[in-house]
């Protein structure tokens, strides 16, 4: 919070490393350290549109830990590398750069993602 009108309105620059479930952002300092709290979009100011376009938000998936939905419309609960389970997020399949991550998840469960609904047996 600024106490003096001559004080800078914004600090930084910082790199956005993650968006949490509530929509706030985790920021990283130039030295690689994460700031201790997350900031809402209203508290942030982009450096420039070019910088934003230049560096897309990409994080490395540690593992898929769960799924929800129906075949063809699954969402996957993602554990992000370098983050805690509290930072897990639900992501649609189209958000993954590498489908092998999804295939690995299903193979560990010995299931085919296209056919995971219960079938009825005829008597």
**Given pLDDT bands bounded at 50, 70 and 90, which one contains residue 21?**
confident
Question: What is the average per-residue pLDDT within 9-25?
Answer: 81
Q: Is 78 exposed, middle or buried (0-12, 13-18, 19+ CB in 10 A)?
A: buried
Torsional sign, CA 46, 48, 49, 51 = negative
**What pTM was estimated for this model as a whole?**
0.47
Confidence (pLDDT) at 63:
93
- DSSP annotation string for 4-48: STTS-S-----EEEEE-TTS-EEEE-TTSPBPSS-B-GGG---S-
* Residue bearing the bigger pLDDT, 1 or 32: 32
**Given pLDDT bands bounded at 50, 70 and 90, which one contains residue 51?**
low
For domain 61-108, the question of CATH label 2.20.140.10 is answered with no
Question: What is the average per-residue pLDDT within 28-46?
Answer: 83
The full set of domain ranges for the chain reads 15-54, 61-108
């Amino acid at each position: 919070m600024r106490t003096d009108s001559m004080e800078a309105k914004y600090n930084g620059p910082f790199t956005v490393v993650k968006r949490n479930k509530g929509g706030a952002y985790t920021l990283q300092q130039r030295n690689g350290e994460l700031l201790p709290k997350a900031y809402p979009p209203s508290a942030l100011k982009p450096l420039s549109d070019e910088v934003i376009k230049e560096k897309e938000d990409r994080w490395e998936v540690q593992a898929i830990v769960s799924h929800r939905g129906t075949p063809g419309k699954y969402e996957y609960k993602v554990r992000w590398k370098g983050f805690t389970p509290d930072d897990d997020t639900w992501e649609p399949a189209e958000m993954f750069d590498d489908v092998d991550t999804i295939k690995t998840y299903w193979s560990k469960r010995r299931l085919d993602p296209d056919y995971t609904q219960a079938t009825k047996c005829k008597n």
